[in-house]
């Protein structure tokens, strides 16, 4: 039967046609397509890898930021604590100083007061002695109103003075 | 040429012959053998339809080497006429349906543009246009920035599927060298299979169901396998790792060398038989309508309805088969090429 006996003419044409088709498609057709597709799939693979890389680095950055934030927070706490300690120290020192100052002022004030008091006492004493002298003068004046008395007193004084000279 | 159009033409023919009283009783019935073989065989003219007793056919050029080259239209040989000492052998003769010498009935060297050759030419041009349009898209566009559309968008998934899933897996690391051939074979078979199902001109020629076509395809695979096979492949054939007594009398080498030829032979037969069987099944299903034409309108109508339904099912099945056979041919060719490129260190024995 002719169905299963290959015909030479058809074989000839098939070789020619398939050969030409193969030549054209293998030269201008499929390599262009497959290389383009491969280029794209490589590009996609690289992009995916880059995206993964980027995701990782973002994650890393976020982690780092978190760490830094925590560090900052502890640092902040530390600084705050230190500052409050410092503040307390300064306040304490200030109070100490103020107390010292106050006691100094008090002491000097007491000394002043004491010296003022002495001065006043001295003045009072001087006044008192002056007053008593004035009083004595007044008293003497009253006793020596008579000439007699004045003379006897003179006499006594001169005696006393000559006795003192002779001795 | 399978199909409703031709079949309705055949019905016309049948009704015409019914009307003509000069026809004998035998001629009135549908000649199943001629009907089926007329559709699946190669021919010197492309028969499209018979309309009111007149044959509508495209005459094709005959190119015959018999006492020098002779080129003429197939119309010259119609209805058993002889021309320049050549005629088409009638039914029952040794070279039935082929051009033979009038003198002794022998076959000259005949490279006529037959129906199958014209179909091949047409399908090949279609294939080249499609693939080159697709590749032109890639030349003109930046593949990294644009998604393919149109023909490129249609063909790219198929090309990628065949190359990545079939060729790359079966051939191995050197697949790039072979992928143009294997892709060409796949698309060539696919487009010819599909055009074979398409009922109207220029489809409908039973190209991949012709053994000459599948023979050439298998030959190409044979050369692709054996011309580029590596040292290990040839050693496996001529001096395989088997006990020495199997090699001293070369039993294993003989089997391996036979195997070299049976592999492409199986490719040839598989594609041929599948496509031919599909065509014959479809034609037979449609033929039921004409065979039952004389059995009364009820039987004819009901069986006709069933055969149309079954024909639709078979057409869908043939669409699937068209793809599967192209896929299988490509996959097996890839596997055979891959076997010729194995490296011994990869073997597990």
Helix (H) or strand (E) holding B65: strand B61-65
Any A CB within 8 A of B212 CB: yes
**Is the ipTM above a cut-off of 0.95?**
no
Any A CB within 8 A of B288 CB: no
Give the sign of the dihedral formed by CA B46, CA B49, CA B52, CA B58.
negative
Q: Determine contact, residues B221/B149, Cβ cutoff 8 Å.
A: no
Rounded to 5 degrees, φ, ψ at A44 are -65, -40
pLDDT score, position A167: 67
Give the sign of the dihedral formed by CA B226, CA B230, CA B235, CA B236.
negative
Smallest Cα distance from B348 to chain A, Å = 31
**Which of residues 87 through 106 in chain A touch B, CB cutoff 8 A?**
none
Question: Is pLDDT of A109 > 90?
Answer: yes
* Triad B2, B319, B211: Cα angle to 5°: 60
pLDDT score, position B32: 79
pLDDT score, position B305: 92
Any A CB within 8 A of B151 CB: no
Q: CB A144: neighbour CB atoms within 10 A? A: 15
A43 CB neighbours in chain B (<8 A) are 144
Smallest Cα distance from B20 to chain A, Å = 32
Any A CB within 8 A of B90 CB: no
Question: Is pLDDT of B321 > 90?
Answer: yes
CB contact under 8 A, B188 and A21: yes
Question: Is pLDDT of B317 > 60?
Answer: yes
Determine the average pLDDT of the residues in B334-339: 92
Q: Determine contact, residues B64/B102, Cβ cutoff 8 Å.
A: no
- Residues B130-149: tens digit of each pLDDT: 999 999 999 888 888 888 88
Cα gap B31→B19, rounded to integer Å: 17
pLDDT score, position B11: 44
Q: Name the one residue in this structure whose structure tokens are 């080497």.
A: B65
Among the residue ranges B115-119, B176-180, B223-227, B249-253, the one predicted with the least confidence is B249-253
Question: Is pLDDT of B1 > 60?
Answer: no
| CA dihedral angle for residue A110, residue A114, residue A115, residue A117, rounded to 10 degrees | 130
Q: Determine contact, residues B74/B112, Cβ cutoff 8 Å.
A: yes
CB contact under 8 A, B40 and A37: no
Cα gap B222→B212, rounded to integer Å: 15
Any B CB within 8 A of A43 CB: yes
Q: Determine contact, residues B96/B42, Cβ cutoff 8 Å.
A: no
pLDDT score, position A117: 92
Indicate the domain borders of chain A: 57-140
Question: Is pLDDT of B49 > 90?
Answer: no
CB contact under 8 A, B117 and A37: no
pLDDT score, position B40: 84
Indicate the domain borders of chain B: 4-110, 122-346
- Residues B2-30: tens digit of each pLDDT: 444 444 444 444 444 444 433 344 445 66
CB contact under 8 A, B213 and A21: no
Averaged confidence pLDDT in chain B: 84
Determine the average pLDDT of the residues in B185-213: 90
Q: What percent of chain B stands above pLDDT 90?
A: 37
CB contact under 8 A, B41 and A40: no
Question: Is pLDDT of B253 > 90?
Answer: no
Q: Which residues contact B53 (CB under 8 A, 6 or more apart)?
A: B13, B16
CB contact under 8 A, A9 and B160: no
Q: Which residues contact B175 (CB under 8 A, 6 or more apart)?
A: B163, B167, B168, B334
Helical spans, DSSP H, in chain B: 4-19, 25-28, 32-40, 115-140, 150-160, 168-171, 175-197, 211-227, 231-238, 245-248, 251-291, 297-339
Classify burial at A39, counting beta carbons within 10 Å of its beta carbon; exposed 0-12, middle 13-18, buried 19 or more.
middle
Plot region of B141 (φ>0 → left; ψ -120 to 50 → alpha; else → beta): beta
Q: Which residues contact B314 (CB under 8 A, 6 or more apart)?
A: B278, B281, B282, B285
Determine the average pLDDT of the residues in B90-111: 84
pLDDT score, position B28: 55
pLDDT score, position B9: 44
Question: Is pLDDT of B162 > 90?
Answer: yes
Smallest Cα distance from B132 to chain A, Å = 5
pLDDT score, position B19: 41
Averaged confidence pLDDT in chain A: 90
Classify burial at A139, counting beta carbons within 10 Å of its beta carbon; exposed 0-12, middle 13-18, buried 19 or more.
exposed
Cα gap B231→B36, rounded to integer Å: 48
DSSP β-ladder status, B61-65 and B109-110: antiparallel
Q: Determine contact, residues B110/B63, Cβ cutoff 8 Å.
A: yes
Determine the average pLDDT of the residues in A121-144: 86
- Residues B200-217: tens digit of each pLDDT: 888 888 899 999 999 999
CB contact under 8 A, A29 and B134: yes
pLDDT score, position A14: 93
Cα gap A32→A77, rounded to integer Å: 66
Q: Determine contact, residues B348/B316, Cβ cutoff 8 Å.
A: no
Cα gap A128→A79, rounded to integer Å: 71
pLDDT band at A96 (very low <50, low <70, confident <90, very high): very high
Residue of B nearest to A46 (CA): B144
pLDDT score, position B145: 85
Determine the average pLDDT of the residues in A64-87: 94
């Amino acid at each position: 039967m002719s169905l299963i006996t290959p015909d030479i003419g058809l074989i000839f044409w098939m070789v020619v046609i398939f050969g030409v088709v193969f030549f054209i498609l293998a030269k201008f057709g499929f390599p262009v397509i497959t290389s383009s597709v491969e280029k794209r799939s490589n590009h996609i693979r690289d992009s995916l890898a880059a995206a993964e890389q980027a995701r990782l680095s973002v994650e890393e950055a976020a982690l780092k930021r978190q760490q830094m934030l925590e560090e900052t927070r502890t640092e902040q706490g530390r600084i705050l604590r230190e500052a409050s300690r410092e503040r307390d120290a300064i306040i304490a020192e200030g109070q100490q100083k103020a107390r010292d100052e106050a006691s100094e002022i008090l002491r000097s004030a007491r000394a002043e007061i004491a010296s003022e008091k002495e001065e006043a006492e001295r003045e009072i004493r001087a006044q008192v002695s002056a007053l008593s002298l004035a009083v004595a003068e007044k008293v003497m004046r009253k006793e020596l109103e008579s000439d007699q008395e004045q003379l006897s007193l003179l006499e006594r004084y001169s005696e006393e003075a000559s006795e003192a000279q002779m001795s | 040429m399978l199909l409703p159009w031709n079949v309705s033409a055949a019905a016309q023919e049948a009704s015409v012959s019914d009307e003509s009283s000069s026809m004998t009783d035998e001629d009135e019935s549908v000649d199943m053998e001629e009907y089926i073989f007329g559709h699946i065989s190669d021919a010197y003219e492309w028969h499209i339809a018979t309309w009111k007793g007149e044959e509508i056919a495209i005459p094709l050029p005959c190119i015959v080497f018999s006492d020098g080259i002779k080129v003429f239209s197939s119309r010259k040989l119609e209805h058993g006429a002889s021309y320049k000492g050549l005629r088409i052998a009638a039914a029952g003769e040794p070279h039935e349906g082929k051009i033979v010498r009038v003198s002794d009935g022998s076959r000259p060297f005949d490279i006529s543009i037959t129906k199958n050759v014209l179909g091949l030419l047409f399908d090949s041009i279609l294939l080249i246009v499609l693939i080159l349009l697709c590749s032109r898209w890639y030349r003109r566009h930046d593949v990294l920035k644009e998604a393919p559309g149109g023909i490129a968008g249609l063909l790219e998934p198929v090309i990628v599927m065949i190359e990545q899933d079939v060729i790359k897996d079966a051939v191995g690391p050197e697949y790039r060298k072979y992928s143009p051939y294997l892709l060409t074979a796949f698309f060539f078979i696919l487009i010819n299979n599909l055009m074979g199902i398409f009922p109207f001109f220029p489809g409908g020629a039973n190209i991949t169901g012709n053994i000459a076509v599948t023979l050439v395809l298998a030959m190409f695979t044979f050369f692709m396998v054996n011309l580029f096979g590596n040292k290990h492949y040839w050693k496996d054939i001529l001096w395989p790792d088997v006990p020495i007594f199997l090699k001293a009398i070369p039993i294993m080498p003989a089997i391996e060398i036979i195997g070299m030829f049976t592999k492409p032979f199986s490719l040839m037969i598989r594609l041929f038989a599948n496509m031919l069987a599909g065509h014959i099944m479809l034609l037979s299903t449609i033929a039921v309508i004409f065979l039952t034409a004389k059995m009364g309108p009820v039987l004819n109508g009901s069986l006709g309805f069933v055969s149309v339904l079954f024909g639709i099912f078979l057409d869908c099945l043939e669409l699937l088969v068209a793809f599967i056979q192209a896929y299988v041919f490509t996959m097996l060719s890839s596997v055979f090429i891959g076997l010729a490129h194995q490296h011994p260190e990869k073997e597990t024995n």
